[in-house]
Amino acid sequence: MADLSRLNELDEFSIELPSWAFGNAGTRFKVFGSPGVPRDPFEKISDAAEVNRLTGLAPRVSLHIPWDKVDDWSALRAHAKSEGVRIGAINSNLFQDDEYRLGSLCHPEKKVRDKAIQHHAECIDIMRVTGSNDLKLWLPDGTNYPGQDSIRDRQDRLADSLARIYALLDEDQRLLLEYKLFEPAFYHMDIPDWGTSFVHCVALGERAVVVLDTGHHAPGTNIEFIVAMLLRAGRLGAFDFNSRFYADDDLMVGSADPFQLFRILHEIVQQEAHRPSSGVNFMLDQCHNIEPKVEGQLRSVLNVEEALAKALIVDHEALREAQQTGDVLAANGILMDAYRTDMRPALADRRERRGLPRDPVETYRRSGYFDRVAEQRVGGRQASWGA
């Protein structure tokens, strides 16, 4: 019988939802429209709040600038509050301007680098009004052909640009630095891996931390090892959770490889990083191309909850004992026992005790929310990835 006593540690745990997951998304071939999709950041926040109401796990929403630009940031903050959520990380966008063809913070021309730095100054101003503490930076910079630019010079430009952005932050604000193996650049990315991100974070200062997007590695990479290393170094700032079969697929977290999600959360629990004091921000970064958005987010949040619950029931004492005595198969068996335990009944009971629906997806389906917003949200322009 599994020991469920640590499940109450879920009370402190929270997941941050990406505003862009509620808009239309697609591939480079087609963005599909669907009824009820938000037309502005206010409606995106309302959808995110619905996920939070049903799960009790998602009290923050990340925004992307300029996609989520509004005239009145205080009004957006107040709207979030009235919906029972708050605004989380502010993501800067460095990939959609013509000037950024050869890069942004690493661009050969100072004029373009200055523009990119200025964009972060604007994001930091937004953070001050919205009460956000995390500036999240994903750098799309890189080159497509050997010899196109100097890899070394680009690193020097990057270090300088990042230092200028870091200097603009307030004492209570952090810089989250994300890495990605390839795409949009194909020969080299300027921040391709956790090591590069880590090196820049260390050079910047304590409030610069690494973001691990689960879709941004080579196939077969042992992601939980990276998690353990970054936690050990005190530099794991956030996750961008999603699933992938091939590259940066941005599918629902826990759908392609629930065992990997469990292994990641096992490393998290071992270092007590599921607790808010760790400073790790558990964010989602997903796009729902063909499935309904709110329900896609609901499932994602529940997948993370389920994987964390499994990690919390690992018999750590027995595991340590098996590890110490070199009992390889017992150690592996202890971990597998936890992974194979069906946590859904215990989690449903837990939700009921907290006044939440036992089955949030079913309750959402029956609530009529989807039909209601589909009826209300007519006219205007639906939010869409990239706009």
- The residues that touch Mn ion, with contacts defined as CB under 5 A, are 213, 240, 285
DSSP 141-176: -EESSTTSS-HHHHHHHHHHHHHHHHHHS-TT-EEE
Q: Which residue has the tokens 């020097």?
A: 156
The count of residues interacting with ligand RM4 (CB under 6 A) is 7
79 vs 136, which CB is nearer to Mn ion?
Answer: 136
Q: Which does 248 bind (CB under 5 to 8 A by kind): ligand RM4, Mn ion, none?
A: ligand RM4
Which residue's Cβ lies closest to Mn ion? 240
Q: Which of residues 128-167 bind ligand RM4 (CB under 6 A)?
A: 138
Residue 317, amino acid: E
50 vs 248, which CB is nearer to ligand RM4?
Answer: 248
91 vs 255, which CB is nearer to ligand RM4?
Answer: 91
63 vs 261, which CB is nearer to ligand RM4?
Answer: 63
3-state secondary structure of 263: helix
Q: Which does 16 bind (CB under 5 to 8 A by kind): ligand RM4, Mn ion, none?
A: none
Residues 301, 58: Cα–Cα separation, whole Å: 8
Neighbours of 382 (CB within 10 A): 18
Residues 314, 270: Cα–Cα separation, whole Å: 10
Least Cα distance to 248 among 224, 214, 221, 220 occurs for: 214
CA torsion sign for 249, 251, 253, 254 is negative
* Core vs surface per residue 51-72: b (16+ CB within 10 A) or e: bbbbbbbbbbbbbbbebbeeee
Least gap, CB of 32 to ligand RM4 (angstroms): 17
Task: Summarize the chain as % helix, strand, coil (round to 5).
Answer: 50, 15, 40
Least gap, CB of 116 to Mn ion (angstroms): 18
Which residue's Cβ lies closest to ligand RM4? 138
Q: Which of residues 281-310 bind ligand RM4 (CB under 6 A)?
A: 285
Residues 288, 290: Cα–Cα separation, whole Å: 6
Element (H, E) at 171: none
111 neighbors 155 (Cβ within 8 angstroms): no
138 vs 198, which CB is nearer to ligand RM4?
Answer: 138
131 neighbors 86 (Cβ within 8 angstroms): yes
181 vs 361, which CB is nearer to ligand RM4?
Answer: 181
Q: Which of residues 208-247 bind ligand RM4 (CB under 6 A)?
A: 213, 240
- Total number of residues shown for the chain: 387
Q: Exactly one of 14, 19, 55, 91 binds ligand RM4 (CB under 6 A); which one?
A: 91
Q: Which does 281 bind (CB under 5 to 8 A by kind): ligand RM4, Mn ion, none?
A: none
Least gap, CB of 252 to ligand RM4 (angstroms): 15
Q: Which of residues 246-285 bind ligand RM4 (CB under 6 A)?
A: 248, 285
Q: Exactly one of 178, 267, 295, 306 binds ligand RM4 (CB under 6 A); which one?
A: 178
16 binds ligand RM4 (CB under 6 A): no
Least gap, CB of 212 to ligand RM4 (angstroms): 11
Site residues (vs ligand RM4, CB under 6 A): 91, 138, 178, 213, 240, 248, 285
